[in-house]
Amino acid sequence: MEAIRAPRGTRDVLGDESWKWAHVLKVCREVACDFGYSEALLPIFEHTELFSRGIGDTTDVVEKEMYTFTDRGDRSITLRPELTASMVRSYLEHDMRRLPQPVKLWGWGPMFRYERPQKGRYRQFQQVDFEILGASSALADIETIDTSMELYRRLGISNLQVLINSVGCPNCRPAYRAALKTFMESRLGEFCDTCQSRFERNPLRVLDCKKPGCRELSESAPLVVDSLCGECREHFDVVTSGLSEIGAEVRVDNRLVRGLDYYTKTAYEILAGELGSQNAVCGGGRYDNLAEAIGGPHVPGVGFASGIERIVLTMEGQGAHPGEAPRTDVYVVTASPDSHMAAASLLHEIRVSGISADMDYMNRAVKAQMKHASSIGAGLVCIIGDEETSSGTVGIKDMTSGVQESAPREEVLARLAAWRESRGTGR
């Protein structure tokens, strides 16, 4: 029988890489704390309608990429493809409008999209997500970009390119939509089937089509920035000038549209050269009509999501180190079969005192235990055999200097603590 493998587009995060992930999440948590976001732990599956109405049912994500199934209660359920719609759903469901505004939430976890897997693009991937709900001010847009850039800075990532655009609002979009339709109409047959089918329902999606032919055609399409209403233009001007005020280097890209329908006004992407073709480490923007689209009142919002796999790939590409993974401090070596229980009890005491420790469960010989201690990077080895048990002592070997001495059993914990203190490895 063939061994079962993980499904296409999923990955196991193990060993050193999982340490990097833990580091990324730790820094996210610190940034969230410093910028005033509270953590929201939301369900991994939601009613399909949340995404079809929120993200838009003519988007690639909803039309082609969702993991949707009918559950045993005959409900249509979808594994979340992103977090923003769930954040807004949660804000509405818990009536967070009664709290002081804005409400700032952050979260993280797996997202699911049925995409063609390649480097940096998976079917199950993890995002960290930061949202400011209830604020329509352009200052909130600036803050989300500042937050993401600070996150990358603390992770040791640099050389990022921030692309920003305004995608307008329901006031100015009808005029733009009409201009785009006029442009498309004369060459409709040259667009791909999906774009043709979206021509009536949602022509703006054409700008997001990845097919080379459609990309080339839309190169000469009218720009949304030329149709912005006064309010959107002013908002955009405040965001761009505010960003230069805080020293963020951004480039206005009038062709940037995001793959999700809910964006209004600000849309941005942050690119990292190290990522290759899937070069977006972060995507974000404003979504003032999302709450209404999913059946709530008007709640303006702005935020971003960043893929953890791509953050880690960028860190690796730039040689940004998350520091050493924690190692086991002490290894307890059993030098005779009769000293197993004494060793286990010492091991327990060491761990309870807050020092990491381990011992052998494989019946290895003393020499092999020492070798194993060295292979796991233990700094000290405690040796217990018949001799030590009868004299009430423990052998302590410093694995760096090779020096071994004998200590009274009751002094062992204090010695270990002093050793760790001197190494500065306290956690």
Question: Which residues make up the interface to ligand AMP (CB under 6 A)?
Answer: 82, 113, 115, 120-122, 125, 127, 258-259, 280-283, 305-307, 309-310
Residue 280 CB, nearest approach to ligand AMP (Å): 4
Residue 300 CB, nearest approach to ligand AMP (Å): 18
Q: Is the dihedral angle over the CA atoms 410, 412, 416, 422 positive or is it negative?
A: positive
CB contact at 8 A, 408 and 392 = yes
Residue 187 per-residue DSSP state: T
Nearer to ligand AMP, 66 or 370 (CB): 66
Of 54, 53, 60, the residue nearest 257 (C-alpha): 60
Residue 420 CB, nearest approach to ligand AMP (Å): 38
Residue 16 CB, nearest approach to ligand AMP (Å): 20
Nearer to ligand AMP, 24 or 305 (CB): 305
Nearer to ligand AMP, 191 or 268 (CB): 268
184: β partners: none
Length of the chain: 427
Chain centroid to CA 276: 18
Residue 24 CB, nearest approach to ligand AMP (Å): 12
Nearer to ligand AMP, 89 or 113 (CB): 113
Residue 10 CB, nearest approach to ligand AMP (Å): 11
The rounded distance, in Å, linking the Cα atoms of 325 and 16 is 7
Residue 118 per-residue DSSP state: B
The rounded distance, in Å, linking the Cα atoms of 417 and 334 is 21
Residue 286 CB, nearest approach to ligand AMP (Å): 13
Tokens of 408: 């009274």
Nearer to ligand AMP, 1 or 14 (CB): 14
Residue 157 CB, nearest approach to ligand AMP (Å): 12
Nearer to ligand AMP, 128 or 416 (CB): 128
Residue 190 per-residue DSSP state: G
Angle, CA of 398, 401 and 407, to the nearest 5°: 35
CB contact at 8 A, 288 and 183 = no
For residue 287, count other CB atoms closer than 10 A to its CB: 30
The rounded distance, in Å, linking the Cα atoms of 22 and 32 is 15
Residue whose structure tokens are 């580091």: 23
Residue 179 per-residue DSSP state: H
Residue 100 per-residue DSSP state: S
Residue 341 per-residue DSSP state: H
Residue 374 CB, nearest approach to ligand AMP (Å): 38
Nearer to ligand AMP, 115 or 358 (CB): 115
The rounded distance, in Å, linking the Cα atoms of 307 and 410 is 50
Nearer to ligand AMP, 267 or 346 (CB): 267
Nearer to ligand AMP, 122 or 331 (CB): 122
